[in-house]
Amino acid sequence: MAECFSRFKARLLTQPKRKITMSKFPIDLGAYQRISLDPSSNKLTAEQKSALQANIQLCRDAIVFFTATGAARGVGGHTGGPFDTVPEVMILDALFRGNDDKFVPVFFDEAGHRVATQYLMSTLNGDLPTEKLMHYREAHSHLPGHPELGFTPGVKFSSGRLGHMWPYVNGVAMANPSKTLFCLGSDGSQQEGNDAEAARLAVAQQLNVKLIIDDNDVTIAGHPSHYLGGCSTAKTLEGHGVKVLEGDGEDLDDLYHRIVTAINTQGPVAVINHRPMCPGIKGLEGSTHGHDVISVKLALEYLEANGQQAAVEHLKSIKAPKQDYTFLGSSDKWDANRNVFGDASVAILGRLSETERLDKVRVIDSDLEGSCGLKKIHDAYPEIFISSGIMERGNFSAAAGFGMEAGKQGIFGTFSAFLEMCISEITMARLNNSNVLCHFSHSGIDDMADNTCHFGLNNMFADNGLSDGYDTNLYFPADPNQMKACLETIFFNPGLRFVFSTRSKVPAILDSDGNDFFGGNYKFVSGKDEVIREGTQGYVVSFGESLYRALDAVERLKKEGIDVGLINKPTLNVIDEDMLAKVGKSPMVLVVESFNRKTGLGSRYGSWLLERGFTPKFAHIATHKEGCGGLWEQFPHQGIDPAGIMAKVKDLLKG
């Protein structure tokens, strides 16, 4: 009798399939079964389990397909995270349906790269047209690599950087004391110090926040069980006083039981789900490569094996867009400065004996060694390399502590967006006269499909000491040759040295005769600016990946009879008095950069000129609005591409 009632109840709670506009999307999302689940029951009926299993397979197929369109277009993405967490998301969606009085119905996620979850659920809920999913991370598609509130229809929060959401959700819980909230997390996001603070507050205030943690033992650079041996997500949370419910994330009955148990338990609860990364995807299961976007090859194999032939054909038809613009004044040879940093460091360290390296240098990684060039050092000199977790603040301080003694230095690297997280630690390192060589890659906006929350915009924050403080210098080399020359000069200098690079490749800068400007006998001099092109009508001042774009604009303006020059300022925070006077006496100065217009070089440069009595016409163009997704398209979107630079120069020279 009880079984019959349960089946009857399941039929009552199962709603008709919602009509979804198919358009050109090759997987039938209209097959999604919009069931409801009641948290007062801790066991799934056969019908409920069958519906959930069908939804899980459907949504996993869809995620593989539309994230793979990002791989096909060359804009990257992340497949494994959202693929992994589909079972728990399906359960939460069914719980939210019909229980508005019990839950805040938002899939808060502190691993923002799993944004495919948000886009898929926005589509299933009717907020986002289905065909839009096939433009994942594409420029101007409004589907960036992390969720941005108000930017994408149906997205209900901005995730920010990894491991930053739980503290925020605590506040949402305080604002909704009668409701239960969920925060999707991961063993990677739990490594961030924010989560330790969030745990203590949630326990102390008995906040009704339920963490749904995907513990797949995979992050970008390796397996936490290897590089953080002895550390356990479950034990850490239990140590803070959080109730922990561990289990197999692929066991649907157990997963549902643990989620419902968490709901019916007052206060914070962590539902930790163990599974291999990308379960069931041949070639990716259990691999660190599953963190990134699935390759087109593996996606085709997976989709074919699951009978999604229409998706296979569509994926095969996608052509990656190409940047076909020819930049004047630059070579056709391009390289990634973030990798050149590693190559140059290896060459310099190779001049030391093994004993000297062990005594003088320690390299500390924050799970991004492959992205920041540090893997080059790891491979060449593993004895001085420490693979650490997603703990930027602690890792920076450890590098600074190693470099406290004269003659020793720590080397630290991560993304420029994360520099903002390390400001207090940078101050402490300066107060302790530490010697740290820092490489912050992914600066600016170029090739940043991850979009606004991952832009490296506020790098000048690193220069936050007093004028009489311990040396702090900020460097942004313009091309691979200058990156090598820069490191040759500054590698063993005392003080804090911040070297910036971009995610994108950059071309070699050429002189007026077509030779490498920074080749041959070129020597980098810290604090000195450089004349790339002379001009009589004014100067454009730039650096980094903006320099080759500014050079193209200057060359084209000269062809139009507008004789402007170009200055490279590779040391960002040091005034070159001679060059400033040269530029200040000219009719016009335009600062071009991809940093934040509010905090970048241009926000200082005009003041430097005025303080010395120089009054040229002055303007400053930089990143000033939310990104558009995609790759190189970010520059014209901000008006700092060659066309935008030329237009601003002409505007300044009017009258």
Exposure letters 416-431 (e unless 16+ CB within 10 A, then b) = bbbbebbeebbeebbe
Cβ atoms of 149 and 157 within 8 Å: the answer is yes
Ranges of H-type helices in 230-306: 233-240, 252-263, 296-305
pLDDT at 494 > cutoff 70: yes
CB contact set of 333 (below 8 Å; sequence gap of 6+): 507, 508
Taking a C-beta distance cutoff of 8 angstroms, is the pair 544, 593 a contact?
Answer: yes
Same domain for 354 and 478: yes
> pLDDT (tens digit, 9 = 90+) per residue, 116-129?
999 999 999 999 99
pLDDT bin (cut points 50, 70, 90) of residue 141 is very high
User: What sign does the dihedral 278-284-287-290 (CA atoms) show?
Assistant: negative
pTM value > 0.85: yes
- Whether residues 273 and 336 share a domain: the answer is no
**Is residue 616 in a domain?**
yes
Measured between alpha carbons, how far is 296 from 70 in angstroms, rounded to an integer? 9
Interhelix angle 296-305/46-73, nearest 10 degrees: 150
Q: Retrieve residue 459's tokens.
A: 């790098």
How confident is the prediction for the chain on average, in pLDDT? 95
Is residue 33's pLDDT more than 80?
yes
DSSP assignment letter at 278 = S
Average of per-residue pLDDT across 600-605: 98
* Model confidence pLDDT, tens digit, residues 429-450: 999 999 999 999 999 999 999 9
Identify the domain boundary among 257, 284, 317.
Answer: 317
Inside any domain, residue 405: yes
How far apart CA 309 and CA 315 sit, in angstroms, is: 10
The model's confidence at residue 1, banded by pLDDT at 50, 70 and 90, is very low
| Dihedral (Cα; 525, 526, 532, 534), 10-degree rounding | -90
What is the per-residue pLDDT across 103-114, written as a single tens digit (0 to 9) for each?
A: 999 999 999 999
Range of the structural domain that residue 551 is part of: 330-653
Residues 295 and 409 in one domain: no
Q: How confident is the model at residue 655 (pLDDT cuts 50, 70, 90)?
A: low
Could you tell me if residue 354 is inside a domain?
A: yes
Whether 396 shows a pLDDT value over 50: the answer reads yes
Residue 6 has pLDDT above 70, yes or no: no
What band does 98 get if pLDDT is binned at 50, 70 and 90? Answer: confident
Distance, CA of 297 to CA of 289 (rounded, Å): 13
- Strands in 361-366's sheet, in edge-to-edge order, are 385-388, 361-366, 409-415, 436-441, 496-500, 472-475
Helices (H), strands (E): how many in the chain? 24, 18
Q: Of 147, 6, 89, whose CA–CA distance to 452 is shortest?
A: 147
> What is the spatial distance between Cα 250 and Cα 258, in angstroms, rounded to a whole number?
12
pLDDT for the residue 574 = 97
| Whole-number Å distance between alpha carbons of 556 and 558 | 5
The token pair that represents 479 in the structure block: 């091309």
How confident is residue 3, by pLDDT bands cut at 50, 70 and 90? very low
Query: Distance between CA 183 and CA 176 in Å, rounded?
Result: 14
504 in any annotated domain: yes
Q: How confident is the model at residue 322 (pLDDT cuts 50, 70, 90)?
A: confident
37 and 90, same domain (yes or no): yes
* pLDDT tens figures, 188-204: 999 999 999 999 999 99
Please report how many Cα atoms fall inside a 13 Å half-sphere around the Cα of residue 496, on the Cβ side: 29
Q: HSE (CB half, 13 Å, CA atoms) of 28?
A: 9
Mean pLDDT over 277-289 rounds to: 96
368, 415 Cβ separation under 8 angstroms: yes
Average pLDDT over residues 269-288: 97
Q: What angle (nearest 5°) sits at the alpha carbon of residue 194, between those of residues 189 and 196? A: 90
User: Number of structural domains, the chain?
Assistant: 2
Query: Which residues touch 278 (CB under 8 Å, ≥6 apart)?
Result: 79, 80, 83, 84, 284, 285, 286, 287, 290, 294
Give the span between the Cα atoms of 320 and 409, in whole angstroms: 43
- Do 101 and 240 belong to one domain? yes
Q: And the tokens for 207?
A: 């906040």
Residues 608 and 631 in one domain: yes
Same domain? For 343 and 313 the reply is no
Domain CATH code at residue 307: 3.40.50.970
Query: Would you say residue 325 lies in a domain?
Result: no
Q: Band the pLDDT of 19: cuts 50, 70, 90.
A: very low
Domain boundary (290, 317, 344) is at 317
Examine residue 323 and state whether it is found in any structural domain, yes or no.
no
The three-point CA angle 416-419-421 to 5° equals 135
**pLDDT for the residue 384:** 98
Examine the pLDDT at 601 and tell me if it is beyond 60.
yes
- What is the structure's pLDDT at 7? 38
Arithmetic mean of pLDDT, 178-196:
97
As given in the structure block, the two tokens for residue 336 are 């990634």
**CB of 237 within 8 A of CB of 212?**
no
Taking residue 274's Cβ as centre, other Cβ atoms within 10 Å add up to 18
Tokens of 214: 């995907």
Residues 304, 429 within the same domain: no
Dihedral (Cα; 19, 23, 26, 31), 10-degree rounding: 0
Q: Tell me: the pLDDT tens digits for 34-49?
A: 999 999 999 999 999 9
Q: Give pLDDT tens digits for 211-245.
A: 999 999 999 999 999 999 999 999 999 999 999 99
Closest CA to 118 of 177, 74, 165: 165
Give pLDDT, residue 14: 39
CA-closest candidate to residue 66, choices 111, 141, 128, 116: 116
Q: Is residue 293 domain-shared with residue 372, that is, in the same domain?
A: no
Same-domain status, 262 and 359: no
Same structural domain for residues 143 and 118? yes
Residue 50 in any domain: the answer is: yes
DSSP string, 367-381: S-HHHHTHHHHHHH-
Coil, strand or helix at 559? helix
Which residues are 14's β-sheet partners? 35
Of 270, 292, 317, which closes a domain?
317
Query: Cα(449)–Cα(572) distance, rounded to whole angstroms?
Result: 26
Count of CB atoms situated within 10 Å of the CB of 501: 30
Contacts 24+ apart (CB under 8 A), 93-98: 93/121, 93/124, 94/35, 94/36, 94/37, 94/48, 94/52, 95/36, 95/37, 95/39, 95/259, 95/263, 97/15, 97/34, 97/35, 97/36, 97/37, 98/13, 98/36
* Count of positions (residues) in the chain: 655
Burial of 442 (0-12, 13-18, 19+ CB in 10 A): buried
Q: Are 213 and 286 part of one and the same domain? A: yes
pLDDT at 9 over 80: no
Q: Give CB contacts under 8 A, 24+ apart, made by 17-20.
A: 18/124, 18/126, 20/123, 20/124, 20/126, 20/130
Residue 261's Cβ-side half-sphere holds a number of Cα atoms within 13 Å equal to: 17
Q: Which of 10-14, 439-443, 538-542, 566-570 has the lowest mean pLDDT?
A: 10-14
Tell me the pLDDT band of 607, cut-offs 50, 70 and 90.
Answer: very high
Q: With the C-alpha atoms ordered 429, 433, 436, 441, is the resulting torsion angle positive or negative?
A: positive
Query: 322 in a domain, yes or no?
Result: no
